[in-house]
Structure 1
Amino acid sequence: MTERYLGSASLPVDESALTGPVPAHLPQRLTITLWDFSWYTQAGPGQPYADLEAAVADAASLGYNAIRICAAPLLLFGGLGLEDLAADLEIEGLGASPDGYYGQRTRWYDTPGGFRLDLRVHLLALFEAAARHDMVVILASWEYQQSPAFAASARWFDAIDAVPLGERYDVLGRAWHRLVAWLTDHGHRDRIALVELHNEVDFSILPDIIDGVAAVARLRADHPDLLITASYGKPPHLAMHRVPEVLGAAQCHVYSYGVLDALQQRIDIRSEGSADFPNAALRELLRADAPSVTAYGRPAQWKLRATVITDQMIYGYDWVDPAAWDAWLDDHYPPYAEVMQREVASRCIAIAAWARWRGVPAIVGEGWVGYTPLHGTFEEGDIGRALAEHGVRTALDHGMWGVVLCSNAAPHHPMWQLREWQQRLNAEILAR
């Protein structure tokens, strides 16, 4: 057979080296557990984060070396007159419902509340525990996405909502500057793995991140030893040149909804104000004891304004039968399998390629399938775990610095009980 030259594109290229340099004092691979805002909204007696020392120790025992959180910079250091609220923050969750509390069978929103905490003291306790267990912390803000909705008082949301849209990145930048200085004063600067101006800027109550480049640039200039960026919920994978070059890291989320999106559209669960909600398709999936939408009611209006999910999502996730939900996804997955696998891979590769071009580290801070009911097991099951492993390995093969095993792999999700799986995959990540 005659050998044919097919060009350089046909030659294998090893892209497993890091896309960009990582500060020498930080781990050269991050395996991340996503604690978001739950580390303070689920910190009441008997809740997952009541004992931060125990929670951090447990994460370390599973092989994690990084925790990603909402550090609430606007509440703590925003200069918005909220200091007294931060020192005595009453957590309520989405509020009382006829049978308990709204969001009780959702992920992330399953916050019963009923306690108070000093959030600055809680943050310092987290960093102290992280130091004892040799873990680093990724700092972000979810404040323009949902965090204030869990407070009993609307003051937090009202204060940040009063900031004119065009000034929000600047206010965030100044808050982060003060928060970083505070952590530095307490000896924890080297514990900061990354600072994100905000979580998922494309899915939050914020302008386009292009309007925030000056704030990122100033923060980077003030703290040149730190990695500073903003995160994307759905980066422009087919046009990554649109991502601002000022970002000091590529912190992007990789979700491939696929079959999940097909189900969500079928049951119209992400909309609001649908005249026929719940439609016939959703009614087929509801628990037998599900009340009517009217009888169930809805959270306070300000809480819905303070978050990006809708009252239809809250009702639907609270009352869907998770076994019926999982069965639909399992039955309809085969036609979506290949495209979901390709989406996960292609998005990881695009993010890594942009980061390598810019010479910065890359992270997948969330992934892989999407938002499912609290007790749904699709992502914890064979299909979801296989997609997660595919994403993790693709990210590592293309030089990603850090990656989550799954957005649901955290103490406030049932997936935390898959301990051997987490230990095995974390060991694989850290061995690279």
Structure 2
Amino acid sequence: MTLWDFSWYVRTGPGEPFEDLDAAFARAVDLGYNAVRICAMPFLLFRSGVDTRSLRLEPLGGDYGSRVRWYDVREPTVIDAKAHLLDFFRAADRHGVKVIASSWEYQQSPAFADDPAWYEALHAVDPEDRLTVLAEAQADLVDFLGEHGLAHVIACVEPHNEVQIGHLTAGLRGAEDAVVELQDRLERGIEAFLARHPDVPCAPNYGGVPIGSLRGLPRNATALGFHPYVYGVLDDLIDEFGLRRAPAGFPQDAANERLLRAGAPPIAEWALPESSAWKLKASIMQPAEIYVHDWCDPEKFDRYLYEGYGAHRIAMANRLRDWIDAAADHAKRLGIPCYFGEGWVGYTPRDGRFEEGPVGAQICRDAVAHSARVGAWGTIVCSNAAPQHPMWADEAIQRELNAAFLNG
């Protein structure tokens, strides 16, 4: 599959990668894909109460986030959201492509709206009920597609992307891992969906593979989705420069020397205006990570990873294999399919090339081979192999690995 997330509707403006949906699907099929995974914006369309007939979407603000993967929206656009959803599924059907329908709404999607109505509607839902409301919205989506003869295009639904990472964890006690504490909420949501559509697979989706908390996975799941991002050397960079901590302690001098482009402003000067602060909350990204991705010299960033990779090579390879094995084993215990909807190295700047380079490409090859070996229902080339990323131009690796998985 190829990961089109929320980009398929926030990047529809002139010159954007999804301006022409038919062209995007044709290209995907030519590269060997037969499925896409998206945010189907189910809450917005079916449970928010927001008028989506003229949904205004835009960049985060100015140049903020303009070099950040998934956030580098260039052009504002206006869509009739339900009509655009139908256009998407009709195009998928024309090209013989199946769709995994997820939601990024408690993570990123509303950050690209031009006002906070969508974000506020999401957060008006009691945290205890959010996964049930999302699941009901996904059931509404299936009903809606069925009314237009398109329900067969859905391969699977996910209540939400990476349930343990983002605003779905609000209100948890924090006494155990979030995967364990979310179990009841997820099981109630899955039950609500399956009561209406028992024949459509419903998969909880997790960032990573929570091998220490697999007991917390829903017992009524009918598929499982995982994202084996192995990080390793990338964790070193994130930790050393505090990319996922508050920006107050950011090591500006060290970053200027080792990561950033000449002329980068100080981190304190790179922020959204106060009127748009809600967008940062909606995006869940830390300001330091956005700042470094926006202002890094991609070659410096990649050099850091290459220089440190040797010390992590074996551990990263072992984690990749062990996570894929554990995910598949747990799915087999439950008697349901599993798939890998994102993964391999981790979150790198848009213009970095570590994952496409000789090291990253081999990690992709290993991951796809492991996916085939364990009998995964689906997998990816890597998360960056999609129209909104530069790797989309790297035809050879995509053709190679799609053929390897489908023929493996």
Tell me, in whole angstroms, the C-alpha distance in 2 between the residues paired with 1:92 and 1:279.
33
Tell me, in whole angstroms, the C-alpha distance in 1 between the residues paired with 2:383 and 2:34.
15
Residues 1:68 and 2:41 aligned together = no
Higher mean alpha-carbon deviation, 216-225 vs 131-140, is at 216-225
Cα displacement (A) at 1:220: 1.3
Higher mean alpha-carbon deviation, 321-330 vs 286-295, is at 286-295
- Asked whether the 8 Å contact 1:92–1:115 carries over to 2, the reply is yes
Cα displacement (A) at 1:279: 5.1
Summarize the Cα distance change of 1:428–1:275 in structure 2 as closer, same or farther, 3 Å threshold. Answer: closer
Cα displacement (A) at 1:283: 4.4
Greater RCO (Cα-Cα under 8 Å, separation 6 or more): 1
Tell me which residue corresponds to 2:186. 212
Tell me which residue corresponds to 2:113. 151
1:395 to 360, 371, 376: 371
2:260 to 279, 286, 290: 286
1:81 to 3, 28, 49: 49
Cα displacement (A) at 1:119: 1.5
1:420 to 385, 396, 403: 396
Cα displacement (A) at 1:284: 2.6
- Asked whether the 8 Å contact 2:16–2:74 carries over to 1, the reply is no
Cα displacement (A) at 1:241: 2.5
Tell me, in whole angstroms, the C-alpha distance in 2 between the residues paired with 1:113 and 1:314.
19
1:200 to 147, 162, 177: 162
1:329-352 Cα deviation digits (max 9, x unpaired)? 111111100110110000000000
1:357 to 333, 345, 356: 333
Tell me, in whole angstroms, the C-alpha distance in 2 between the residues paired with 1:282 and 1:203.
30
1:257-312 Cα deviation digits (max 9, x unpaired)? 00001011111112124234535245431100211223333352101111210111
Tell me which residue corresponds to 1:41. 10
- Asked whether the 8 Å contact 1:298–1:311 carries over to 2, the reply is no
Larger Rg: 1
Task: Tell me which stretches of 4 or more aligned residues in structure 1 moved more than 3 Å.
Answer: none
- The residue matched to 2:36 in structure 1 has which SS? strand
1:168 to 125, 130, 137: 130
With the length of structure 1 as denominator, give the TM-score of the two structures. 0.89
Tell me which residue corresponds to 1:5. none
Higher mean alpha-carbon deviation, 59-68 vs 294-303, is at 294-303
- Asked whether the 8 Å contact 2:110–2:119 carries over to 1, the reply is yes
Summarize the Cα distance change of 1:198–1:279 in structure 2 as closer, same or farther, 3 Å threshold. Answer: farther
Summarize the Cα distance change of 1:354–1:276 in structure 2 as closer, same or farther, 3 Å threshold. Answer: closer
1:345-379 Cα deviation digits (max 9, x unpaired)? 00000000001111101100100000000000001
- Asked whether the 8 Å contact 2:324–2:370 carries over to 1, the reply is yes
- Asked whether the 8 Å contact 2:10–2:77 carries over to 1, the reply is no
Residues 1:222 and 2:196 aligned together = yes
Residues 1:312 and 2:288 aligned together = yes
Residues 1:245 and 2:227 aligned together = no
Tell me, in whole angstroms, the C-alpha distance in 2 between the residues paired with 1:295 and 1:403.
40
Higher mean alpha-carbon deviation, 34-43 vs 115-124, is at 115-124
Summarize the Cα distance change of 1:274–1:263 in structure 2 as closer, same or farther, 3 Å threshold. Answer: same
Tell me, in whole angstroms, the C-alpha distance in 2 between the residues paired with 1:244 and 1:278.
43
Aligned 1:107-186 pairs, distance under 5 A: 107-186=69-148
Paired residue total: 394
Tell me which residue corresponds to 2:299. 323
1:209-245 Cα deviation digits (max 9, x unpaired)? 3122112012112111110122001232144232121
Tell me which residue corresponds to 1:13. none
Residue type of the partner of 1:188? L
Structure 2 portions without partners, runs of 5+: 170-180
Tell me, in whole angstroms, the C-alpha distance in 1 between the residues paired with 2:390 and 2:112.
21
Tell me which residue corresponds to 1:342. 318
- The residue matched to 1:246 in structure 2 has which SS? coil
Cα displacement (A) at 1:45: 0.8
1:3-23 Cα deviation digits (max 9, x unpaired)? xxxxxxxxxxxxxxxxxxxxx
1:181-236 Cα deviation digits (max 9, x unpaired)? 00011111111001000000010211343122112012112111110122001232
Higher mean alpha-carbon deviation, 52-61 vs 275-284, is at 275-284
1:111-137 Cα deviation digits (max 9, x unpaired)? 123221111111111111111111100
Tell me, in whole angstroms, the C-alpha distance in 2 between the residues paired with 1:113 and 1:149.
14
With the length of structure 2 as denominator, give the TM-score of the two structures. 0.94
- Asked whether the 8 Å contact 1:266–1:281 carries over to 2, the reply is no
Identity %: 43
Residues 1:260 and 2:243 aligned together = no
Between structures 1 and 2, the one with greater helix share: 2
Tell me, in whole angstroms, the C-alpha distance in 2 between the residues paired with 1:199 and 1:147.
11
1:373-418 Cα deviation digits (max 9, x unpaired)? 0000001101111111111111110110100110000000001111
Tell me which residue corresponds to 1:51. 20
Tell me which residue corresponds to 2:174. none
- Asked whether the 8 Å contact 2:243–2:288 carries over to 1, the reply is yes
1:303 to 275, 279, 289: 279
- Asked whether the 8 Å contact 2:136–2:192 carries over to 1, the reply is no
Q: CA RMSD in A?
A: 1.3
Residue type of the partner of 1:81? G
Tell me which residue corresponds to 2:172. none
